[in-house]
Amino acid sequence: MGMLSAFANPHRFLALSHWLAPLFYVVGAALIAWGLWQGLWVVPKDDYQGGDIMRVMFIHVPAAWLAMASYSAMAAASFIWFIWRHELADIAAKAIAPLGAVWTVLCLATGSIWGKPTWGTWWQWDDARMMSVLFLFFLFLGYMALRAAMDSRQKAARAGAILAMVGALNVPLIKFSVDMFTSLHQDASVITADGPKMAAVYLWPLMMSGLGHSLLFGALVMTLMRAEIWTRRAARQRARLLAGA
């Protein structure tokens, strides 16, 4: 709890993110650029995965990681806000939602682009992972729509937190139910019980690209959070000025 409270201080957050966000932007962009350069020009193509089109993996897989990680992060932030009422946690949840939705769409779009030449279809209804990511997207949309419909910041925070927690409770069930469909998607091949089974030549660019996307995501979240904090301060300042005048 001590550490959580330390992070909950907006002043400390502003001071920290002042240099951390630019750092994340630069390192994230560099890693993504390196991963793309490796992926598009250096690594050999894999004919079992559709030839050159498999190079979309270096965006698709990081996007899938982030789609799942961002919903978990949003639910965790909502939980922290709901229990301890740290304002920063709500600001974080609010900032994560639109970004998570964007990476979810990125995952779906690159998946479709990969799927068309390899499986012969843009969309496969009985693929469990496509369905899971699609429902994740709807969970993000519902969260944003609910927040937008509330008439005060406090109510938006509470309603959003309740919905994010209900969603997080349901995610395992949704995942389990769509898994019961048969799947033509290739099985998980980066993280398995006996270590990664992907060739190292693909693994390194993929890991770096994943790290780069995560850093970029983190930087964007921090930027949105900073904007929200400054917006709130400006509103308070305006109210104070009006009251004084």
Residue 180 lies near another protein (rule: CB under 8 A): yes
Q: Considering only residues 149, 184, 188, 234, which one is a binding residue for another protein as defined by CB under 8 A?
A: 149
Q: Is residue 199 packed enough to be buried (19+ CB in 10 Å), middle (13-18) or exposed (0-12)?
A: exposed
Half-sphere exposure of 6 (CA within 13 A, CB side): 4
Q: Does 141 bind another protein (CB under 8 A)?
A: yes
81: contact with another protein by CB under 8 A: no
CB nearer another protein, residue 83 or residue 234: 83
- Out of 167, 205, 210, 212, the only residue in the binding site for another protein (CB under 8 A) is 167
Question: By CB under 8 A, which span of 42-50, 83-91, 155-163, 219-227 interacts with another protein?
Answer: 155-163
Establish if 183 lies at the interface with another protein (CB under 8 A). Answer: no
Phi, psi of 220 (to 5 degrees): -65, -40
The residues pairing with 51 across neighbouring beta strands, listed in sequence order, are 46
Q: How far is the CB of 240 from another protein (least distance, A)?
A: 25
185-244 binders of another protein (CB under 8 A): none
Does residue 113 contact residue 38 with C-beta atoms inside 8 Å?
A: no
Q: Quick check: helix, strand or coil at residue 44?
A: coil
Tell me which stretch binds another protein (CB under 8 A): 44-52, 63-71, 112-120, 165-173.
165-173
**Under rule CB under 8 A, residue 135 binds another protein:** yes
Task: Pick the binder of another protein from 53, 150, 198, 203 (CB under 8 A).
Answer: 150
Q: Is 4 in the site for another protein (CB under 8 A)?
A: no
The DSSP secondary structure of 152-181, one letter per residue, reads: SHHHHHHHHHHHHHHHHHHHHHHHHHHHTS
For another protein, which is the closer residue by CB, 123 or 181? 181
* Owner of token pair 């301060």: 233
Q: Angle formed by the axes of helices 200-244 and 10-37, to 10°?
A: 150
Distance, in Å, from the CA atom of 225 to the CA atom of 176, rounded to the nearest integer, reads 34
- Which positions touch another protein (CB under 8 A)? 135, 138-139, 141-142, 145-146, 149-151, 154-155, 158-159, 162-163, 165-167, 169-170, 173-174, 176-178, 180-181
